[in-house]
């Protein structure tokens, strides 16, 4: 069995990247496309979904007919929740499936999505959570600070964690053949290395690894065959690696700090053979 798919992340509303993605999909006809968050431009994002992404995907659907891929997407920390809600219309049309904190499927693979990241220095907090505790790295702002574009339960903001969310999402499900679409990479891997060398806040050195401890612990404990990540744009440039294996789990990153689209091609039945191309 073969299930060739595309994975991309951190497109940040770039027309060039989206056009490259749809052109490659029209030519290669993948079974699924995974969009790993930070999809919107930040300015005029609602218009971008309605007037650019949705018409382009409708056009792709018409071109490919029965070969139209399943499209799974999650938010990233730069995607305002108020704007991201506009993806619901395309979901009603059958263009894609928004799977943050949800489960989907492709072929015989269960697909889980989770877009939240640990606290960052940025003001937008719609998709930020405490990681495994209420600790916040020096220089970052807690989820209780900053601003949100959609109201949230104050108790959930104060006490919710990525670790708790993943435990609830996985439950007692069989994850032996699952795919996990994350925005954050796991902590202390080649995928979460940030350009923070020799930087400090109030004489406290900053951690150059900014991924999620909860996601790393989850992978170590559950060992899904494949996890997909973004968020840290410069990681592949700094480490020279965009994929890493942790036990039986292959972890792939599509984050990129250049103008190109980092297109990851992966067969869900053979994740060890994944490739990454800048297009």
* Residue 187 confidence (pLDDT): 98
Separation CA 255–CA 230 (nearest Å): 5
Question: What percent of the chain lies above the pLDDT cut of 90?
Answer: 96
* Residue 168 confidence (pLDDT): 98
Separation CA 223–CA 28 (nearest Å): 30
Least confident span in 1-10, 26-35, 70-79, 167-176: 1-10
75: left (phi over 0), alpha (psi -120 to 50) or beta: beta
Inform me whether the pLDDT recorded for 1 exceeds 80.
Answer: no
* Residue 32 confidence (pLDDT): 98
* Residue 202 confidence (pLDDT): 86
* Residue 119 confidence (pLDDT): 98
The model's pLDDT over 67-104, given as tens digits with 9 standing for 90+, comes to 999 999 999 999 999 999 999 999 999 999 999 999 99
84: left (phi over 0), alpha (psi -120 to 50) or beta: alpha
Collapse the DSSP code of 229 into the 3-class scheme (helix H, G, I; strand E, B; otherwise coil) and give the result.
strand
The model's pLDDT over 111-162, given as tens digits with 9 standing for 90+, comes to 999 999 999 999 999 999 999 999 999 999 999 999 999 999 999 999 999 9
Separation CA 26–CA 18 (nearest Å): 12
Separation CA 18–CA 14 (nearest Å): 6
- Ordered domains of the chain (ranges, CATH): 4-278 (3.60.21.10)
CB 11 within 8 A of CB 33: no
Distance of CA 220 to CAs 50, 109, 131, 181, 225, Å? 39, 19, 16, 16, 11
Mean pLDDT, residues 32-41 taken together: 98
What is the DSSP annotation of 8-61?
E---TT-HHHHHHHHHHHHHH--SEEEEES--S-SSSHHHHIIIIIHHHHHHHH
Inform me whether the pLDDT recorded for 180 exceeds 70.
Answer: yes
The model's pLDDT over 219-277, given as tens digits with 9 standing for 90+, comes to 999 999 999 999 999 999 999 999 999 999 999 999 999 999 999 999 999 999 999 99
The model's pLDDT over 185-202, given as tens digits with 9 standing for 90+, comes to 999 999 999 999 999 988
Inform me whether the pLDDT recorded for 23 exceeds 90.
Answer: yes
Inform me whether the pLDDT recorded for 2 exceeds 90.
Answer: no
237-257 in b/e form (b: 16+ CB < 10 A) is eebeebbbeeeebbbbbbbbe
């Amino acid at each position: 069995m073969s299930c060739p798919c595309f994975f991309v992340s951190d497109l940040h509303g770039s027309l060039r990247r989206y056009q490259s993605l749809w052109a490659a999909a029209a030519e290669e006809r993948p079974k699924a496309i995974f969009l790993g968050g930070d999809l919107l431009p930040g300015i005029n994002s609602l218009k971008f979904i309605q007037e650019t992404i949705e018409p382009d995907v409708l056009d792709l659907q018409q071109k490919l007919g029965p070969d139209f891929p399943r499209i799974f997407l999650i938010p990233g920390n730069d995607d305002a929740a108020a704007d991201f809600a506009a993806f619901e219309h395309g979901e009603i049309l059958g263009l894609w499936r928004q799977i943050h904190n949800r489960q989907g499927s492709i072929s015989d693979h269960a697909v889980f999505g989770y877009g939240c990241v640990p606290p960052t220095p940025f003001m937008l907090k719609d998709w930020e959570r405490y990681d495994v505790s209420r600790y916040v790295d020096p220089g970052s702002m807690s989820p209780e600070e900053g601003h949100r574009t959609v109201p949230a339960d104050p108790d959930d903001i104060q006490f919710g964690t990525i670790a708790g969310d993943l435990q609830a999402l996985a439950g007692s499900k069989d994850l032996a053949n699952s795919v996990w679409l994350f925005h954050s990479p796991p902590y202390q891997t080649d995928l979460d290395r940030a350009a923070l060398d020799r930087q400090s806040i109030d004489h406290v050195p900053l951690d150059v690894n900014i991924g999620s401890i909860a996601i790393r612990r989850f992978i170590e404990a559950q060992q899904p065959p494949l996890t997909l990540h973004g968020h840290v744009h410069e990681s592949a440039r700094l480490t020279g690696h965009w994929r890493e294996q942790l036990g039986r789990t292959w972890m792939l990153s599509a984050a990129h700090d250049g103008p190109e689209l980092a297109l990851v091609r992966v067969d869900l039945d053979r994740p060890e053979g994944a490739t990454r191309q800048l297009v």
